Amino acid sequence: MDKYECLKLKNQLCFPIYLCSKEIIRKYTPFLKKLDLTYTQYIVMMYFWEYNESNVKELGNKLMLDSNTLTPLLKKLEDKGYIERKRSSLDERNLIVKLTSKGEKLRDDAVDIPSSVGKCINLCSEDFVALYSLMYKILGNIREDYNE
Amino acid sequence: MDKYECLKLKNQLCFPIYLCSKEIIRKYTPFLKKLDLTYTQYIVMMYFWEYNESNVKELGNKLMLDSNTLTPLLKKLEDKGYIERKRSSLDERNLIVKLTSKGEKLRDDAVDIPSSVGKCINLCSEDFVALYSLMYKILGNIREDYNE
DNA sequence: TAAAATTAAATCGCATACGATTAAAGGAGG
DNA sequence: CCTCCTTTAATCGTATGCGATTTAATTTTA
């Protein structure tokens, strides 16, 4: 029995998760390119399609990203005309971010993407459900503060 | 029934996988810092602890990374003294990368990391196995060329 | 109420990722 | 032998990701 067995790549759980995340994102890329979005920008747009308006803090909680990543990303989305950034007049520390009408319209172009990528991943619904719940179980274990 | 339902974050599979990958890597960080490694550098070191020697192509196939990512990363590992880079004399196109003795010794410092992080993730063994096999199933579906 | 503590975003620096291109070496065919 | 094709790394440019610090606004507290 090799005492280094635990360090072999095939015995890692993190490694295939890391690969899956990257490869799934790679599958999104050609579809997102048509909308002039990167994957992270797409996640942010999904947030706003659902909630319409937010600030950096709230958005960051949901996406587990901080202002160091979000600030430049939101500026890019603003340059593309998909969102609007404005300081709150009630509390100047807060940056209000909201969809523009152009950003809203983009939703119709995105609506087929999940199923297109789903076909590439090609999991039966049992596997989908099992994987989904395992992912949220891990997230719950790692970040007890995270509420879906 | 909302026609945009499929675009909600909570209905995505990619999103929790993306989060899990990032958060698990975050859990590794404090342990890896003691070895002066980043997560990707750690994956590369695991490869070499297992196979001792390789070239950029082979390594990249296994890790699903290309020379654009690996070349600078391998130079950093060389600067740290963990690996050696040398052109093959048989075929000058190939870069032979191998562990140094310092890199080999590092393995002993890494051997407790998987279980330490495993405690944070805190999955029972059934969940571990289920998740592991789902991940490789997806990888097999996405990249039929990938052989573990 | 003025100084201290807290909060929210922005900024900085470094390390990936990765599509695309380039450069250099080796191999194939005329 | 020479040109074309392929292969392997390296390089380039853009976009995250994130620990750490800074800046500005607000709140707390002495």
Give B21-47 pLDDT, tens digit per residue: 999 999 999 999 999 999 999 999 999
Q: Which residues on chain A are in Cβ contact (under 8 Å) with B134?
A: 123, 127, 130-131, 134
- For residue B107, is it within any domain? yes
Q: How many domains does chain B have?
A: 1
Distance (Å) from the alpha carbon of A13 to chain B's nearest alpha carbon: 6
By the CB < 8 Å criterion, does A129 face chain B? no
Protein CA at B122 to nucleotide C1' at C18, angstroms: 32
To the nearest whole Å, the CA of A97 is away from the closest chain B CA by 18
Per the structure, the complete domain to which residue A94 belongs is given by 13-106
* CATH label of the domain that carries residue A45: 1.10.10.10
Determine the Cα–Cα distance for residues A145 and A113; give it in Å rounded to an integer. Answer: 30
Please tell me the distance from the alpha carbon of residue A116 to that of residue A33, in angstroms, as a whole number: 14
pLDDT tens digits, A45-64:
999 999 999 999 999 999 99
Calpha distance A120→A122 (Å, rounded) = 5
In a domain, B14, yes or no: yes
User: CB-side exposure of A105: number of CA atoms within 13 Å?
Assistant: 5
pLDDT band at B145 (very low <50, low <70, confident <90, very high): low
The span from the CA of A21 to the CA of A4, in Å, is 26
Angle of the A67-79 helix axis to the A39-51 helix axis, nearest 10: 80
pTM above 0.85, yes or no: yes
End-to-end CA distance of chain A: 42
User: In strand C, which positions have an atom below 7 A from any protein CB?
Assistant: 7-13, 15-20, 24-27
In-domain check, residue A3: no
Tokens representing residue B8 in the block: 């909600």
B135 lies in some domain: no
pLDDT tier at A148, thresholds 50, 70, 90: very low
% of chain A exceeding 70 in pLDDT: 97
In this structure, how many other beta carbons lie within 10 angstroms of the beta carbon of residue A87?
12
Sign of CA dihedral A59, A64, A70, A73: negative
- Of chain B residues 97-116, which have a CB less than 8 A from chain A? 107, 110-111, 113-115
Lowest mean pLDDT among A110-114, A115-119, A141-145: A141-145
Among candidate residues B32, B118, B45, B58, the one with its CA nearest the CA of residue A17: B118
Task: Decide if A35 contacts B76 (C-beta within 8 A).
Answer: no
B79-106 pLDDT, tens digit per residue, is 999 999 999 999 999 999 999 999 999 9
Is A113 among the domain residues?
Answer: no
Interatomic CA–C1' length for residue B35 and nucleotide D10, angstroms: 27
In a domain, A2, yes or no: no
b/e burial code for range A111-140 (CB count within 10 A of at least 16 → b): eebbeebbeebebeeebeebbbebbbbbbe
| Residue B98 domain-assigned (yes or no) | yes
For residue A5, the model assigns a pLDDT of 97
Q: Who's near B72: CB < 8 A, 6+ residues apart? A: none
Residue A111 lies in a domain: no
CB contact under 8 A, A4 and B111: yes
A148 to chain B, closest Cα gap in Å? 7
